[in-house]
Amino acid sequence: MISRNAVQLAPNFQFSQSSLQDYVECKRRFQLRYIERVAWPAVQAQPVLEHEARLVNGQAFHRLVQQQLLGIPENRLSPANSDLQRWWQTYLETRPAEIEGRRFIEITLAATVAGQRLVAQYDLIVITPQTARIFDWKTSARPTKPGATERLFERMQTRIYRYLLVVAGADLNGGYALTPEQITMTYWFAETPNEPVHFPYNSEQFAADERVLTALLTEIQMQALNTPWDLTTQEKTCAFCPYRSLCERGVEAGEIHAEDEIELASPETLDFEQIAEIEF
């Protein structure tokens, strides 16, 4: 049972991959950002202009792909700068989602887990009679450091996107629930277009995701009111967190490079998630 001294989430609070990723990386960051809603105007990463330009370009790339998938003729879509042009060219040469099936573009799915609403916005889902393919566009390169694929597999995005498609995707499949074994999630990287990462799903992973998500959402609801939640022990993370001076974890922003970034699609993630794949 949840104590009266436990945190009260707003009735309309929605959990997402980005907020849960915040929580698993640093409970205090989740508390500051989503419970106390503290705005702390620190520079998030250096070099600032380059970092911001990549965020803006990432959004623009997602818009281009979305428009192309919606059927706007490609010759009417014009990338505004050289980075976008390069990504757009590799996308057109690779056409990573060129498979027959019903397409659902920029669709949101939601379900209740541990009494809380959990939502995900997908770049693209393609449903065929036998399969359901989730596509997620990244404007970074495929991460190559040791253990990078395993970390991508463990990320909240991978867990939540595949899980929610099972529990909330029946409407996309003529009213029939999809099985985990039908689902594959693909991360496609604009800087390394021929090296996508595919994560097929199965019942065992689905059961594990349900346990993990239920435990996390239950734990968050049991966190104490009015006391600071645990600060991360991974202090290198703090260099890229806007709350670092508030937490007395440094002043200078960490330095980020394009090859370290995994850029994510939805506007809600245009923040810490942009650099969350930095490998320490």
Residues that bind ligand SF4 (CB under 6 A): 26, 28-29, 32, 231-232, 237-238, 241, 243-244, 247, 249
Q: Which is nearer to ligand SF4, 42 or 110 (CB)?
A: 42
Shortest Å, Cβ 39 to ligand SF4: 13
Instruction: State the DSSP string of 140-206.
Output: SPPP-STTHHHHHHHSHHHHHHHHHHHHH-GGGGTTPPPPGGGEEEEEEETTSTT--EEEE--HHHH
Helix or strand run (H / E) with residue 93:
helix 82-94
Q: Which is nearer to ligand SF4, 98 or 248 (CB)?
A: 248
CB of 222 to ligand SF4, least distance (A): 19
Neighbours of 203 (CB within 10 A): 11
| Nearer of residues 6 and 42 to ligand SF4, judged by Cβ | 42
CB of 27 to ligand SF4, least distance (A): 8
Minimum separation from the CB atom of position 114 to ligand SF4 (A): 23
How much of the chain is helix, strand and coil, in % rounded to 5?
40, 15, 40
The least CB distance from residue 81 to ligand SF4, in Å, is: 32
Which C-beta is closer to ligand SF4: that of 139 or that of 223?
A: 223
Asked whether the bond before 242 is cis by omega within 30 degrees of 0, the reply is: no
Q: CB-wise, 171 or 252, nearer to ligand SF4?
A: 252
Q: Any idea of the CA torsion for 155, 21, 179, 131, to the nearest 10 degrees?
A: -60
CA–CA dist 118, 112 (Å, integer):
6
164 or 275: CB nearest ligand SF4:
275
Give whole-number Cα distances, 6 to 26, 103, 217, 220, 251, in Å: 18, 42, 13, 9, 31
Q: Give the span between the Cα atoms of 24 and 156, in whole angstroms.
A: 9
Q: How many CA atoms lie within 13 A of 74 on its CB side?
A: 9
E-strand stretches of 72-131? 102-105, 108-113, 116-121, 124-127
Residue 238 beta carbon to ligand SF4: minimum distance, rounded to whole angstroms: 3
Residue 84 or residue 241: which is nearer to ligand SF4 going by CB?
Answer: 241
Nearer of residues 26 and 45 to ligand SF4, judged by Cβ: 26
Compute the least distance from the CB of residue 266 to ligand SF4, in Å. Answer: 21
CA distance 122 to 146: 27
Closest distance to ligand SF4 from the beta carbon of 28 (Å): 4
